[in-house]
Amino acid sequence: MLPRSRIAHEWQAFWLALGFLTRIPMRVRIDYSQRLMNQSSVYFPLVGLLLGLGYCAAYVLFSLVASPLAAIILVVILHLFITGAFHEDGLADSVDALGGGYTVEKRLEIMKDSRIGTYGTVALVMALLLKVALLAEAELIWLALLVAPAVSRLTPLILMACLPYVTDPDKSKSKPVADGFSRSRLLAAAGFVLLLAAGLSLWQPLLIPAAITAVLLVAVFWGSYLHSQLGGYTGDTLGAAVVFSELALLLVL
């Protein structure tokens, strides 16, 4: 049995993860530290699952007054609002930087620019359109909405475990998460995702291989590309990994 202090510590880590990935207010007092921020990463897939539950409920409600396609679009809008388009912003910045920079230094400089360029705009629009299209074609829309946010948030943890962090540490929001990332907590997060997929396999028998395929494909190919172009990852590229993983899972499903 875990000691009470450990339970309180993990409880704070969960709320910190929720506050980091969403706009949902933290309802507990957080004794913030870089170590706690780092340890909160194990709860990223759980936060994704909670988001997925909210998206499922919203889809059911929206479907009462709108067509399935309109309901899906409304859910995507809700997602962008709740998360502050956190990962989509990372996608746009990453594509702008990797498409417009010819050196590592220039790519990192572009990535820090808050303005969005042509590459980022096109990538963002196409990613959102593809997400809506894939959700509309899903055999079980509620299942896709539920599982995709949880599975996709495992991929950045793999990238953090396998690649070095390359950006200005004094100006990065994700730096405390990246520093000293614990691989044991990565295994715990991966176990949670596999248990979730196993539990939902009653409705979709191929969910476990689909989840593993989506996460590993993005981790390997996106991670290899980042290693060759940047020498590692940044916070923006982790956000892009979440978007890519969601699309890969929806495509496989």
Of the CA atoms within 13 Å of residue 44, those in its CB half-sphere come to 28
Residue type, 182: S
CA distance 118 to 100: 9
pLDDT at 136: 96
pLDDT in tens, 61-107: 999 999 999 999 999 999 999 999 999 999 999 999 999 888 999 99
pLDDT in tens, 116-157: 999 999 999 999 999 999 999 999 999 999 999 999 999 999
Provide CB contacts within 8 A for 103, sequence distance 6+: none
Residue type, 241: A
pLDDT at 100: 87
DSSP code at position 171: G
Q: Choose among 13, 52, 43: nearest CA to 199.
A: 52
CA distance 36 to 42: 11
Bin 33: left if φ > 0, else alpha if -120 < ψ < 50, else beta.
Answer: beta
As a residue count, the chain comes to 253
- Per DSSP, the residues of 99-145 read HH-SSHHHHHHHHH-SS--HHHHHHHHHHHHHHHHHHHH-SSHHHHH
* Three-state secondary structure call for residue 181: coil
Predicted confidence band of residue 37 (pLDDT cuts 50, 70, 90):
confident
Provide CB contacts within 8 A for 196, sequence distance 6+: 45, 49, 147, 150, 151
Rg (CA), the chain: 18
Flag whether pLDDT at 3 surpasses 60: yes
CA distance 201 to 220: 25
pLDDT at 167: 75
Count other C-beta atoms under 10 Å from residue 219's C-beta: 22
* Three-state secondary structure call for residue 233: strand
- Could you tell me if 171 and 28 are in contact, meaning their C-beta atoms sit under 8 angstroms apart? no
pLDDT at 31: 82
